[in-house]
Amino acid sequence: MDAALLVVSLVLCLLAAAPAASAARAFFVFGDSLVDNGNNNYLLTTARADAPPYGIDFPTHQATGRFSNGLNIPDIISEHLGAEPALPYLSPELRGEKLLVGANFASAGVGILNDTGIQFVNIIRIGDQLQYFREYQRKLRALVGEPQATQLVNQALVLITLGGNDFVNNYYLVPMSVRSRQYALPDYVRFIVSEYRKILSRLYELGARRVIVTGTGPLGCVPAELALHSQNGECAAELTRAVNLFNPQMVDMVRGINRAIGADVFVTANTYRMNFDYLANPQDFGFTNVQVACCGQGPYNGIGLCTAASNVCDNRDVFAFWDAFHPTERANRIIVAQFMHGMTRTTCTP
């Protein structure tokens, strides 16, 4: 079955399983800056999006820590689920009844490996995100009791997005990086996929039973990589090669976990294809620019993060990229729509 269809089936079955009068299911988010909704605001780190013009199109028009002009992928999934967005785990507002909505544990800059993103200094590495998930569950049990807490976690939707930083902020961060000296690219990909399996297995041990695992998007085509490697707008060949090695092996790994478990707990979302569709055919999606970031500086607006001193486009809806690495809200909506409304399956397996 196509990865996008599997995600559709998972989400639709999740919704169908809930009694009509019940509240929306809880939602948990793990990963990097593509899904971080503000945890890094509470950390002494350079990986932050807490100043304008980030958030220029957010409902409050304030920077929230999301690496977007507006909403990010978890926000839009929450909309589809009919729920309010899960708060960042580090937010002091995440207490009491808010715990029932879920939590976002993601932190910009992290990867599968602990040494990914070390230049950002203080970020919530994935092992720490899983430890926070355990801590969250203790708080939840204190609020509603163990049986209800276990049920809420088991029935929740979980999103995990990792992998991109292990290339752009590790293997290819500098010429002759430690990891690139240690591993040839095919061996590195096998290594990080094997490490990812351990992370997903731990997530299962912690009670996750309905998990979307996103693949890596077209890293070689983001403005940051075009600024560094492109002469005429062509995508960076070496990063494209890395993604083409990583995604199929990640899918095979996820299938292997499901076989070992004996259930389709984990499903993969083909975010590479979802992104590539609008990058290859921008006019079909209403985009007029899929190479230059809306906010930034330098070639393709791809140097550094978006700041108050950056160039900012007037119409964010016609740009695929908000900053050097991250999609605009409109691009995020297209990505989510493709795996929420692409196709449906008529039966759901408990």
Which residues have a catalytic role annotated?
33, 323, 326
Burial bucket for residue 143 (CB in 10 Å: 0-12, 13-18, 19+): middle
CB distance 117 to 169 below 8 Å:
yes
- The CA-atom distances, in angstroms, between 93 and each of 37, 44, 109 are 14, 20, 24
CB distance 260 to 204 below 8 Å:
no
- 232-262 burial by CB neighbour count: b if 16+ within 10 A, else e? eeebbeebbebbebbbebbbebbeebbeeee
Q: Tokens standing for 228?
A: 């560094």
Residue 17: CB atoms within 10 A of its CB come to 13
Q: At what angle do helices 126-144 and 146-155 cross, to 10 degrees?
A: 130
- The CA-atom distances, in angstroms, between 106 and each of 90, 112, 118, 307, 314 are 10, 12, 16, 22, 29
Residues 6+ apart with CB under 8 A from 118: none
* Cα–Cα distance for residue pair 211/274, rounded to 1 Å: 18
Residue 350: CB atoms within 10 A of its CB come to 5
Q: Tokens standing for 87?
A: 């708060």
CB distance 114 to 127 below 8 Å:
yes
In total, the chain counts a number of residues equal to 350
